[in-house]
Each structure stands twice: as C-alpha cells, then as structure tokens.
C-alpha cells in the first residue's frame, strides 16, 4: 500500500502508463505525487478510484471521504492535467486522452462505497513478478 504510482513511474518510458489505485492508497503516498510532479513523466496517468473509504481495513472513512480532493492536490503540485470524474462518459474521455498531455495526469473517479465480496490475488512473489513481466511483454523465466 502506498507505492502503486511510484512503482509505475518510469516502468515503460516508451509507452503510456495508466496506474489504477484507490483513494486510501493514494493518500498514503502524497509524497509520491510530489515526486511524480517534479519528475514530469509525460507518459504517466494515475486513475484514483475514490469511494471515500479505506476498504482494506474495514470501510473507515478515508481522507477523501472527509473532503480531501486528490485531483486538486495533484493540480497544486503541477500535474499537466487533472480531473474529477463522476460518470462513465468521463471515464471514456480519460481513456481517449491517455498520452495526450505533456506531463503527468491524474483523474479521481468518484464511485459509491459499499461492501462487495472480495477476491484477493495471489501473494506469491514469483507469481506476481511473472504476471507483471508477462503483461509488459517480457519472458517469465
């Protein structure tokens, strides 16, 4: 938790990179937003799924749930483009605009909170490494 955006910073400098993360995770990494703003990667877009809750620890209200607007924080840090999305049309616009701005981008996608059933991914390190490498087009040996 707290490192999704920094892990993807520079992972594929020749392609557009979309990081999908949650509001709680992003709030754990405000320093990462500042680092990304200073590095100015033109290919990095962060989509923050914001339900205003800390899902992983029991649905407590997150900072965003108390009114912190992550897109505005990114804007203040100097991100090239930020937005708060409240509709599927906005998500469509986000997808079409990937790689079209000169600098990092961040969109907060507002969704309803809830308590859906969870399916947790494997925590096996080798499996995770191989899945990441395969998704990037590299061999998994």
Q: Render pLDDT for 95-133 as a digit per residue (tens, 0 to 9).
A: 888 777 888 999 999 988 766 666 777 788 888 888 888
Q: Is residue 104 part of a domain?
A: yes
- Total tally of structural domains belonging to the chain: 1
Domain assignment present for residue 116? The answer is yes
**140 inside domain:** no
Q: How far is CA 73 from CA 51, 130, 134, in A?
A: 17, 34, 34
In a domain, 100, yes or no: yes
Is 141 domain-assigned?
no
- Give every CB contact of residue 95 below 8 A, 6+ residues apart in sequence: none
- Domain containing residue 57: CATH number: 3.40.50.970
Does 43 fall in a domain?
yes
> How far is residue 16's CA from residue 126's CA, in Å, rounded to a whole number?
26
**Strongest mean pLDDT among 35-49, 54-68, 92-106, 119-133:** 35-49
What are 24's two structure tokens? 């709680």
Helix H or strand E segment including 135: helix 125-135
Residue span of the structural domain in which 64 resides: 4-135
Place of tokens 């859906």: 116
Structural domain includes residue 101: yes
Across the chain, the runs of DSSP E, i.e. the strands, are 17-22, 44-50, 53-54, 60-61, 81-85, 105-110
Q: What percent of the chain has pLDDT over 90?
A: 21
């Amino acid at each position: 938790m707290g490192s999704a955006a920094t892990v993807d910073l520079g992972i594929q400098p020749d392609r557009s990179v979309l990081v999908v993360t949650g509001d709680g995770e992003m709030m754990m990494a405000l320093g990462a937003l500042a680092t990304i703003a200073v590095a100015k990667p033109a290919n990095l877009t962060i989509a923050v799924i914001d339900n205003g809750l800390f899902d992983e620890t029991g649905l407590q209200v997150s900072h965003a749930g108390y009114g912190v607007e992550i897109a505005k924080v990114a804007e203040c840090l100097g991100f090239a483009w930020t937005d708060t999305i409240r509709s599927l049309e906005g998500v469509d616009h986000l997808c079409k605009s990937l790689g079209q701005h000169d600098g990092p981008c961040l969109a907060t996608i507002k969704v309803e909170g809830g308590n859906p059933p969870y399916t947790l991914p494997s925590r096996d390190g080798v499996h995770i490494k191989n899945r990441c490498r395969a998704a990037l087009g590299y061999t998994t040996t």
